[in-house]
Structure 1
Amino acid sequence: MSRRTLSSVVVAVLLVGLLAVAAFLPVPYVTMSPGPTVNVLAQQDGKPKLDIEGTKTYPTEGSLRLTTVSVTSPGAEISLVEALSAWFDGTRAVYPREVIYPPQQSVADVKRESSVQMVSSQDTAVAAALTELGYKLPLRVEVLAVTDGSPADGKLQVRDRILEVDGTKITDVSQVSQLIQKSGVGNPVQVVVSREGRRRTLTLTPQASPDDPGKAIVGVQIGTGYDFPFDVDVRIDEQIGGPSAGLIFSLAVYDELTKGALTGGASIAGTGTISPDGAVGPIGGIQQKIVAAADAGAKVFLVPADNCDSAVGAAVSEDEIRLVKVQTLHQAVEALTAYAKNPNADLPRCP
């Protein structure tokens, strides 16, 4: 073997070695795959996932499945090989990490935001369903999240209704932070809340914000809630977060408060945010959610209208699952009512 040939072999071996190493180095991307689906009409540990008390409900059948995606966790990394594998897999997707996890957000921030979105979406979903049924709902100011280790930790709870702060009646979300800021760091504030129908007075001592030492905080996220005429409790795995199950939650509440089975006994899946007036909004991961629904045996998938263009690219056939376009909760109810009467009914389609 000549010196030139030997050199070429050595270079080739080194290059292959470097490529092999590089293939397993972390890359700044995350993968999104079909996740589990959950039938919100079913039971969990012997109790209904959707529990309505204080008003008449009706038996139902079939399934209404919320759909999820499995995303690389905030603290995990993927290799080039894993990214390429997902890229060429028609059921998965690859995104730049910063698109899913903004650099300025910590892992704790991401989890807290997801939890807040889920709590908020459940309340909004109930409000949308009741509004569709003709109820008028007064608004309230409530706790959406409590930060671990904060002054509010162990005192305030999610869904506590904020009635007063330092003697001032609370009618708007912005009042809470303004009054806490007015009190200042280290100066106790009296917070009156309503919890499970009981009035409670709590003392919180604001601390300085880590991002702004001059700002007083107690470690809660406050938002708008609703005074419902009866109790609605949703039991869903805490690992499932975000606002995208709003439409399915609304349909489930509507189904249990009306006679007959909205699904007609069929397996229905869907996704979409929901607003109090019933408008259905777009979500992420639509193709992966459709695949997950088809794998779970769903026959119809309710698609937010703004997701339709992407939805038709899901790796499923029309024979597997039917994509139905919806813009509002009312349209979704009409579509399912028609489908229950005739599975071959002409329904709004994607695209």
Structure 2
Amino acid sequence: MRKKIYIGSTLFVAIILIWGMFYSLPYYVSKPGMAKELGPIITVDGGEKDEGNFMLTTVRMGRANIYSYLEAKTRKYEELYPLDMILNKKETEEEYNIRQLHLMAGSKLNAIEVAYRKAGLPVKYKYKGIYVMQVIPDMPAVGKLSAGDRIFKVDGKQLPSSEKFIDYVSKKQAGDKVTLTYQRNKSTKTVTLKLQPFKEDPQKVGIGISLVDDKEIVVKPKVKVKTDEIGGPSAGFMFSLEIYNQLTEGDLTRGYQIAGTGTIDGDGTVGPIGGIEQKIVAADKAGAEYFLAPNEKGIKNSNYHDAVKTARDIKTKMKIIPIDTFDDAVNYLEKLKENKK
């Protein structure tokens, strides 16, 4: 009898423990990720090789369960975020993940453009259509289109930009129909949808999608950037440095291990990101000697300010460098003395 009670109690506890692993709480938890060398990720045809390394830094982000929630409460460089701080209004987790992948794709395009223009090389874009980022509830696209679908024709016409797509649809009236040709999982499909007013703005009609351009950058020499499932725009700045370094003579790393983070705009502006504290921890563990941090023009509580604070707290020897633009970074690195270790 006692043996049966013992077995039953053990089984009950095991079920509770397993349940705790799979029960999702209304939070996301972030923690230090990794610092990854960019040389194996980025390949420019005929590109120069580095003596040192540029490294992107990441944050591990995921839906919190009971155990990760409790862990984040007790560990200094783990953070908890309510769902509404991560997901857009009415956005599903699947749509969030797709949005992150497309933000990464956009950051790669900006990085390539900045690097090639800095190197004095021409850049062209080829427009391919639009990607569906989110399907708005209670609108015609629900159940017909999904996040990640690529629309490349409207009423049989190929439009030259997402702005033209929006202009074309906005000139129609509620009840009018549009036929969309799109690609999903390498299969081409067609759907006809009836336009209806948006609840938030009845003066506007549409099918109920948020969208982003699908465009291809055309450059010579060719460049490949393999990011797998890494999402978000925060690696763009470091991508641009690695690409530029491979395009030009000499070694911009000067033989050092250089980590960093930041978005990159087409004009070379370096923007702030989330999780700078966790990225400092990740870079330090990877042995980075320099960390390039968005300065945000010196505002209080900038990424750079928080990075310096974290660096002091973990007692790293890594030097934190404030950066506002791509040119700032290039100018700083060009003045570094060569590492002759």
TM-score normalised over the length of structure 2: 0.71
SS at match of 1:339: coil
User: Are 1:29 and 2:21 counterparts?
Assistant: no
Pair 1:67–1:206, CA change in 2 (3 A): farther
Partner of 2:334 in structure 1? 337
Which of 321, 324, 335 in structure 2 is aligned with 1:324? Answer: 321
1: CA distance, partners of 2:309 / 2:113: 33
Pair 1:50–1:27, CA change in 2 (3 A): closer
Pair 1:98–1:151, CA change in 2 (3 A): closer
Which of 203, 212, 227 in structure 2 is aligned with 1:236? Answer: 227
What residue identity is the alignment partner of 2:101?
S
TM-superposed CA distance for 1:57, in Å, is 2.2
SS at match of 2:240: helix
2: CA distance, partners of 1:249 / 1:300: 16
1: CA distance, partners of 2:263 / 2:51: 24
Which of 250, 274, 280 in structure 2 is aligned with 1:284? Answer: 274
Partner of 1:313 in structure 2? 309
Partner of 2:260 in structure 1? 270
Pair 1:330–1:156, CA change in 2 (3 A): same
Which string of whole-angstrom CA distances, capped at 9 and with x for unpartnered residues, describes residues 276-318 of structure 1?
1111000000000010011111111110003112112324224
1: CA distance, partners of 2:309 / 2:164: 46
1: CA distance, partners of 2:274 / 2:165: 32
Percentage identity across aligned positions?
29
TM-superposed CA distance for 1:59, in Å, is 2.4
2: CA distance, partners of 1:272 / 1:72: 21
Which string of whole-angstrom CA distances, capped at 9 and with x for unpartnered residues, describes residues 225-268 of structure 1?
54434422111121x10000001100010010011221122211
User: Are 1:51 and 2:46 counterparts?
Assistant: no
Partner of 1:104 in structure 2? 90
What residue identity is the alignment partner of 1:32?
S
- Count matched residues: 292
Which string of whole-angstrom CA distances, capped at 9 and with x for unpartnered residues, describes residues 198-225 of structure 1?
xxxx874344689969634799642565
What residue identity is the alignment partner of 2:227?
I
Which of 242, 258, 264 in structure 1 is aligned with 2:248? Answer: 258
Which string of whole-angstrom CA distances, capped at 9 and with x for unpartnered residues, describes residues 119-150 of structure 1?
01000110011122233434443446467986
Answer yes or no: is the 8 Å Cα contact 1:40–1:65 preserved in 2.
Answer: yes
SS at match of 2:227: coil
Pair 1:241–1:153, CA change in 2 (3 A): closer
Pair 1:211–1:78, CA change in 2 (3 A): farther
2: CA distance, partners of 1:234 / 1:208: 39
Partner of 2:106 in structure 1? 120
Q: Which has the larger displacement, 63-72 or 141-150?
A: 141-150
Residues 86-97 of structure 1: pairs in structure 2 closer than 5 A:
86-97=72-83
Answer yes or no: is the 8 Å Cα contact 1:152–1:218 preserved in 2.
Answer: no
Partner of 1:347 in structure 2? none
SS at match of 1:205: strand
Partner of 2:65 in structure 1? 78
- Listed as ranges, the gaps of 5+ residues in structure 2 are 1-19, 135-142, 200-204, 297-302
User: Are 1:40 and 2:29 counterparts?
Assistant: no
- Listed as ranges, the gaps of 5+ residues in structure 1 are 1-23, 43-48, 194-201, 344-351
